Amino acid sequence: MPALSQPYEAHEREGLIVAYPVKANTRIWKGALVCVDSTGYLVPASDATGLRFVGVAFESVDNTGGSNGAKRCRVIKRGSFVYNRIGNFSQADVGLTVRAISDNEVAKTSTHNVLVGTVVELMDGNRVRIRIDNHTV
């Protein structure tokens, strides 16, 4: 398709919530940090190779026993959310980028560096609020 030579309707969609096909034999819980794997299917976030963070599950979806893409899960693409934190955090860590350890845990460092958000608030001794904007694909 050539470059535009007249106005074009690009069919803008805000993109706050996007539905992704769920990986075979996978259960996604509402509120989970979620990624797509190397095949492009949605899986719970973890510290594993080949994952790309896409957001927070808007709903629970059970594709246990289903094939790749048999079900879809809506995913929130921006905002701030509270998750359990692994390791020591201090007030000085506000603004630091964190990585997925599981679908409910984040840390300052990890083996596979699945970036999921930026610390915006330390909630208590176990939890942190992260902003996922600019970290989702």
C-alpha 97/C-alpha 132 separation (Å) is 10
- What is the model's pTM? 0.91
How large is the average pLDDT for residues 3-10? 89
| Straight-line distance from the first to the last Cα atom of the chain, in angstroms, rounded to the nearest whole number | 25
Give the per-residue pLDDT at 74. 97
Percentage of residues of the chain with pLDDT beyond 70: 99
Is pLDDT of 13 > 80? no
Is pLDDT of 65 > 80? yes
Local structure of residue 72 (DSSP, 8 states) = E
Is pLDDT of 125 > 80? yes
- Is 54:36 a contact under the CB 8 Å cutoff? yes
Q: What is the pLDDT of residues 89-118, one digit of tens each?
A: 999 999 999 999 999 999 999 999 999 999
Is pLDDT of 1 > 70? no
The overall average pLDDT reported for the chain is 95
Tokens of 90: 């201090």
C-alpha 40/C-alpha 90 separation (Å) is 35
Percentage of residues of the chain with pLDDT beyond 90: 88
